[in-house]
Structures are given as structure tokens and as C-alpha cells.
Structure 1
Amino acid sequence: MDRGLGFTEMFELPVAVDLRTAARALGVHPTTAYRLIRRGQFPCPVLRLGGRYRVPTAELMRVLGIEERPLYDVDPDEDDEGPDGPHTLF
């Protein structure tokens, strides 16, 4: 079985993922994920598009307890003030 997804990998996912990726993030085998869907017990909403399942990444992250927050590319070793003055987030 594949290892689970890391925290950084979660933030690199597209808007929706296939069922195998969702199962990997949840730490379950894909066969178990399909079984849970058939029973209506998968822990987050699943979309069926044609013959394929897609899981919205935002819902997957919510189930995993990962909040969506904007990420800023700020070097933690950089001084609080750059050439344009102090860094602000808004």
C-alpha cells in the first residue's frame, strides 16, 4: 500500500482528486474506499462523473482537519522590513 500524503502534498492537489488519491490521503486502501462509497459511508462528498469518482479537495482537507488558509511566500529569516517598508498581509 502507498504511504499517505504529506501536509505539503495536500496543498499541491488540484480542486478535485481521483478516489485513489483521496483514499491515500485518508490512509485507507482504494478497495475500502469503493466499499465505503457503495455503503454511503465515505467520510466526505464524492462526485460521480461518468464512470469515475472525484473528491473535492477542500472537503477532503476539511475531513482531515486541515483548514484552508492563504499561504504567503515570506522568508522567515528575512527582516520584518524590506525595501518597501514593513510586510503587511492586507
Structure 2
Amino acid sequence: MASGWARDGAVQDQIDATVEDAVAQARSSMSVGDSLEFCEECDKPIPEARRQAVPGVRLCIQCQSELEKEYKASAGINRRGSKDSQLR
């Protein structure tokens, strides 16, 4: 199949790299260690059930939701510089 200047398999390589980046980002954002009793952003108490369900939790549900909204707003664009993707 002709795909411009991209070599065979380049699209799959780009997809694989994007998935690897997402997995690395998710792993780096996972908390480790003891859960906090109070949110490190707003100082509200973190419920015991949340601390047990999410080991190493650092934020209350509201602050975590805000953080995830900000992340989703900036995520989703693949900025890898393949000439093939730039031509589309």
C-alpha cells in the first residue's frame, strides 16, 4: 500500500510510541507510599474509604477531578513529527 514517504509499518510504530508514552505517563502519576489524611491541595480530609481504595492517595476527589480535567485538555494530540502525519 502506498503511503507517501513513510516506510511500511511507520503508522503502527507511531501508534505504539503514543501508547508507550501514555503508559509511562500513567505509571509516573501513580501514587506510592502511605496515603495522606488531608488533601495536599485544599487541606480537606480524605475519606478513609478513598485512602484504602487508592494506596498513596494525595488529593481529595474534587482536587483529583480538577487535575484530570486539566490533563485531558492538554492530552490527545500526537506531536510526533512524522512527515506522513503532517501531510494529512
* TM-score, with structure 1 as normaliser: 0.28
Higher gyration radius (CA): 2
Higher relative contact order (CA 8 A, sep 6+): 2
* TM-score, with structure 2 as normaliser: 0.28
Q: Which structure has more strand as a fraction of its residues?
A: 1
Q: Which structure has more helix as a fraction of its residues?
A: 2
